[in-house]
Structure 1
């Protein structure tokens, strides 16, 4: 991966440039010959000073050669003035390319010397191991305690402690299984695993107490046999602690679930157990080493071997389980920040493991190597635990938030709990950075403040980011709680959602207010972050003020849209979900921004209209609405029958549980609107709440037609009656008899 290649390149550069840390630095000699100018001399001395090595400057004259030792920071300027006057002949000059080549060769020599020193230290540690075994045997022989008795005491202590721990563990499991007590502040899956962890730690504490009591009753604490048996107990204790942590993180419970949804949890459990074995073995060996009073060089060598084995194990762990680590950290629905961190986390672990091993190898043999090694190892452990604790805190608070929202409903406290997830997980990261700073700061001298300065800077930056993110989450979640986002309905869903409620004024204005508040939070948070980086924000504020003034003069149309939108929102001219007409365009309001309003036409198209282009608004969805429609009946229909049928239908719809609550005035016949050649036009009307007038109208027409048909009233047809006056015998006889001629219907 590109990140790994870049990290490897940076690590190689660190190897070649970390000259002050090597214990064997050969001095660099620069010979200045007559004929060199002051500029050339200064350039050569600057290049040599950048190596950080002890510098010796020799000035060669026509008769004698003088040498003077100088330090990189002081001798360069002192020697330059004396050399500028000692020029008499043209000689061969050293070019910058030659100096760079010399520095490269010197860096390679330092790297070779350091590698040889590391190898020699490791060999010394292996050789001293046999010495430690021999000295331990000598002490045991001097005490007159047989090896068999020592093994029996150690085995008896382990068995007694193990039996007591197993009994306590089984008893604790039974109590948890039959107990009805619930941890009120720890819920769900985390609660189950936390109970199991408490049981494991309690059994380990019982193991330690019983095993040490048996050991103290059988051996004196000043003997070498006691130290050997104590090392065996401590080794088992450390291993059990690592296994308890591994069970808490990676072992499934009775339901088959693990605390973290990570692929191949057995792999990670075995890797953590192996880590505990190596740590316990080398830790107890070095403790016994100190008790025997062996040399510091051999102890450093043994520590180097243990650190190398741990580094190889960590590289195998992080690289072999990189896919599971990424998936576990990202989760099911990660955000962009969490996705980026999850993808880089395994590579970061690999690079940090290599760097810590290299750093521990460099300081081997120094007076404070033990403290430096402890700080390096503790830093690796903190880096391993930080993501676990951060994710655990996030999941626990998230479970509280979801439980509260399910029990009490969404509101202010559910929003506070949602923002508390960010605060808790961020506090874990900031606390880890603070621990790392506390570990390294006492070891740094005045020249090492730069090395820990970036950690302090990162701590301040993280605090600013976490605080801004928490406020952002609180505002966003609370805005969604008060005014949930409106979903766009597909065709046909309007009919299904007959109980659609009218939106409030706050629901309409809150998205705009939310965006403004979030913009302000982001702006203030960005200024805080920049201030934590050491950047002066006063010129930035002045520059943004001038930029805003220029935009206000140059973009007057934008200013007009924003100001008009503010007054439209203040006047409550329309709300989300209302059907409005702006004069040229009409539709349902779907979204309101600072500058424009988005309308959805009933045929589907979306209209985005800037507020500055809206001169007037007609709102069809405010307070109430009267729906009028008309039907065509036969000319000879009885209007009274139609009125009674309409009244009956109106009363029936009022009693309907689905449609009744939406009526303000029931359906009734308004009267005869018109009489044409073929029909009598009757108008009907009703008044209802806004939202679904079309559904009520369609239902009213359906019931009204059925009621009129049942009452014998028919709708008008398009048939035209024509009277024929033809001269035939039938017509004449009919006319004589005084009867009208037969009617002939002609369909038009």
Structure 2
């Protein structure tokens, strides 16, 4: 009892003390109440307000303004960014929670689906369902009849059947394309007739349910079947566009139709349940249907991996190691793409991204998967088209073959870049991504990456186009001059290539380096990197090279002027300061000479003081023949003229002559006989073959006309030669020794002269 008395007294004392304090606080609050200040004050009103406010009110007004500014800044400040590990952990936890939710709702699958069917039947009733199904069936029948009429009217498209040979690609593609267009035309007629009839037979509520069924369960699978027949031609192996046997072609065709049916059923059931008041999140049926689609793709790819690898490999014999690896791993790539797309769908489902889920319901992930799986197939198609549509090889020989293969690879690489851009655009369109807007997003990382890739793609295509043009011109020039390492140029002096053959390789290297540098800098700039230091560093490096490598600069400058002067070309026989050989290769700093015996000499341009070219335009070959003094020069002249006329009429040798072989008369005398000289003018590289043929003909004509070639003889005058038959062996030995000594002295004398 005493405790309650003390408590009551304390309470009365607290109230007595608090009342004056509260009254004082009320007065102070009234004195310091923050006035309401309108926004549209004039300068005069501001001065008048400041004059009437007390210090406490000004202080309170200032504090209120500062608090408002602090709150605004706190609201505008970005939330602290999470680290990569935190993001991955949070995403993994969300996906695990989503999968656990899927498992927890397995018992509700049947009940929720039954509820959707019940809502459907309740909405329409028995008569409504009969009307819906009856009119839908009637519209389908009318649409199918219109399709059959359209295909009947276009039956003439298939009258021209190709031969079926491997080389008749144009005919096979034409036939399959006409058949595909005929099927697509029939599907279009079927669809629009069905829509036209359905709008007149069915109510808007009926159309809302019938349209998804027709689109997803009928039209989409039939479109997939038409595409499969165009590519695989399961019943027409002689016209098949891909390299696959009948077994795997039919297997893939059947399962591709089944896959499209499963995809269509998934899209239909999602739409159907949504229209009947059952959200997919309530039963998570979409998870199991989507999983079944991706599992089906994995099963198809694993089962038909041998056929898919053959299809990707193609029939082109000039395939590279890269092509073989792509073909080998394509089935596993298909499985990986299917799994990756499934994970993407699960990711958006886990984070509940409504916008992305709406695109997934519309089939964006299936479109993405389709084009990713089609990318290697498109590459195979590109290789096949290049093989059949590329211009034929120019000329013959290893040079022409190398140029042909290089041109083919350039066409394939350009096609791959264009196909890659096309696939990216199709995937971006499926997800409603405007790449132009992303690329123009300034500092946005995605925009920078896209702009970087666009610049790299343009530079790559430009590089391949330049290489393609130069390689084509090189092949044309090199095969036009018909270079071959045969015996014609075996002693040097062979005909050189054109000026383009010499300059184009250097031009190709220069253009490729320039394109790589320019587009590399532009790409780095697109990523937001400051390329000014790189340019400054390149300038300093160039200056350092200029001062520290003056000899290198002299070599490069000298080579430029030699090429401008057209002093030599690849394939020409030249003499550089006593070093002779055929120009085999030129670079920006030096040239390589191949001696006719095999050694290769590398000579920097800066060391070339004088260059003699033996292969430019024409060659004069002069031949000497020594005949006895009693030979008639006019007779020899007639023989030479006859040989020259015969060789000018010879189809094998006449193309090598610029002027026929003819006599130049007596050139000189020696102690053996007369030296008669003949000459002819020939194309560079042809003179040695012509010379050998002329030697053979001169020998045969001299023999036929009783003319002998003069021989060097040593005559020894011996007194009493009439009694030579009676010489003793010692005397004969002495005569032989004297003759040998005289011959040696004469030989030494001729050698000294």
TM-score using structure 2 length: 0.70
Q: Secondary structure at the match of 2:284?
A: helix
Partner of 1:480: 471
Partner of 1:247: 229
CA distance in 1, matches of 2:493, 2:232: 49
2:372 to 359, 374, 383: 383
Tell me if structure 1 keeps the 8 A contact 2:231–2:241: yes
Tell me if structure 1 keeps the 8 A contact 2:148–2:186: yes
Q: Secondary structure at the match of 1:256?
A: helix
Structure 1, 651-660 or 588-597: larger mean CA deviation:
651-660
Tell me if structure 1 keeps the 8 A contact 2:135–2:202: no
Partner of 2:460: 469
Tell me if structure 2 keeps the 8 A contact 1:433–1:459: no
- Distance change >3 Å, CA 115–CA 728, structure 1 → 2: closer
Tell me if structure 2 keeps the 8 A contact 1:634–1:678: yes
Partner of 1:293: 277
Structure 1, 357-366 or 283-292: larger mean CA deviation:
357-366
1:358 to 343, 367, 373: 343
- Distance change >3 Å, CA 678–CA 239, structure 1 → 2: same
Alpha-carbon offset, residue 686 of structure 1: 1.6
CA distance in 2, matches of 1:154, 1:326: 43
CA distance in 1, matches of 2:569, 2:155: 59
Partner of 2:180: 197
Alpha-carbon offset, residue 694 of structure 1: 0.7
Deviations 1:361-414 (A, max 9, x none): 2443834433355443443334334555576578668866638999xx9xxxxx
Alpha-carbon offset, residue 609 of structure 1: 1.8
Tell me if structure 2 keeps the 8 A contact 1:308–1:357: yes
CA distance in 2, matches of 1:74, 1:511: 57
Q: How does 1:616-635 map to 2 (within 5 A)?
A: 616-635=610-629
Alpha-carbon offset, residue 644 of structure 1: 1.1
Tell me if structure 1 keeps the 8 A contact 2:556–2:605: yes
Structure 1, 371-380 or 106-115: larger mean CA deviation:
106-115
Tell me if structure 1 keeps the 8 A contact 2:665–2:678: yes
Deviations 1:540-578 (A, max 9, x none): 111111112112222222212111111211222111111
- Distance change >3 Å, CA 665–CA 600, structure 1 → 2: same
1:231 to 187, 192, 213: 213
CA distance in 1, matches of 2:392, 2:723: 97
2:707 to 705, 710, 713: 713
- Distance change >3 Å, CA 151–CA 405, structure 1 → 2: farther
- Distance change >3 Å, CA 387–CA 588, structure 1 → 2: same
Tell me if structure 2 keeps the 8 A contact 1:162–1:207: yes
| Unmatched tracts of structure 1, length 5 or more | 1-69, 78-99, 181-185, 410-414, 733-744
CA distance in 2, matches of 1:647, 1:372: 91
CA distance in 1, matches of 2:540, 2:594: 38
Partner of 1:506: 500
CA distance in 2, matches of 1:523, 1:573: 31
CA distance in 2, matches of 1:652, 1:692: 17
Partner of 2:101: 117
Alpha-carbon offset, residue 612 of structure 1: 2.1
CA distance in 2, matches of 1:689, 1:515: 32
Deviations 1:649-670 (A, max 9, x none): 1122223344334433321222
1:143 to 127, 136, 145: 127
Tell me if structure 2 keeps the 8 A contact 1:322–1:346: yes
Q: Secondary structure at the match of 2:159?
A: helix
Partner of 1:14: none
Alpha-carbon offset, residue 627 of structure 1: 0.7
Answering whether residue 364 of structure 2 is matched by residue 370 of structure 1, we say: no
Partner of 1:576: 570
- Distance change >3 Å, CA 308–CA 462, structure 1 → 2: same
Tell me if structure 1 keeps the 8 A contact 2:493–2:572: no
RMSD of aligned Cα (Å): 4.9
CA distance in 1, matches of 2:724, 2:601: 70
Deviations 1:320-358 (A, max 9, x none): 556666665676445688778777766555444323322
1:585 to 561, 579, 585: 579
Partner of 2:43: none
Alpha-carbon offset, residue 315 of structure 1: 2.6
Partner of 1:40: none
Partner of 2:258: 274
CA distance in 2, matches of 1:712, 1:516: 65
Partner of 1:595: 589
Q: Quick check: which has more Rg, 1 or 2?
A: 2
CA distance in 1, matches of 2:509, 2:80: 60
Tell me if structure 2 keeps the 8 A contact 1:246–1:269: yes
- Distance change >3 Å, CA 526–CA 535, structure 1 → 2: same
- Distance change >3 Å, CA 206–CA 76, structure 1 → 2: closer
Q: Secondary structure at the match of 2:391?
A: helix
- Distance change >3 Å, CA 362–CA 651, structure 1 → 2: closer
- Distance change >3 Å, CA 104–CA 464, structure 1 → 2: closer
Partner of 1:460: 451
Partner of 1:663: 657
Q: How does 1:38-53 map to 2 (within 5 A)?
A: none
Partner of 2:12: none
CA distance in 2, matches of 1:613, 1:157: 89
Tell me if structure 1 keeps the 8 A contact 2:266–2:290: no
Q: How does 1:179-218 map to 2 (within 5 A)?
A: 190-209=173-192
TM-score using structure 1 length: 0.70
Alpha-carbon offset, residue 242 of structure 1: 0.6
- Distance change >3 Å, CA 351–CA 418, structure 1 → 2: closer
- Distance change >3 Å, CA 512–CA 550, structure 1 → 2: same
- Distance change >3 Å, CA 529–CA 392, structure 1 → 2: farther
Q: Secondary structure at the match of 1:599?
A: strand
Tell me if structure 2 keeps the 8 A contact 1:589–1:599: yes
- Distance change >3 Å, CA 476–CA 136, structure 1 → 2: same
Answering whether residue 615 of structure 2 is matched by residue 609 of structure 1, we say: no
Q: Secondary structure at the match of 1:615?
A: coil
Q: Secondary structure at the match of 2:154?
A: helix
Partner of 1:313: 296
Partner of 1:526: 520
Deviations 1:298-338 (A, max 9, x none): 4x622222211112123334455566666656764456887
CA distance in 1, matches of 2:421, 2:159: 37
| Unmatched tracts of structure 2, length 5 or more | 1-73, 163-168, 401-405, 727-738, 744-753
Structure 1, 681-690 or 163-172: larger mean CA deviation:
163-172
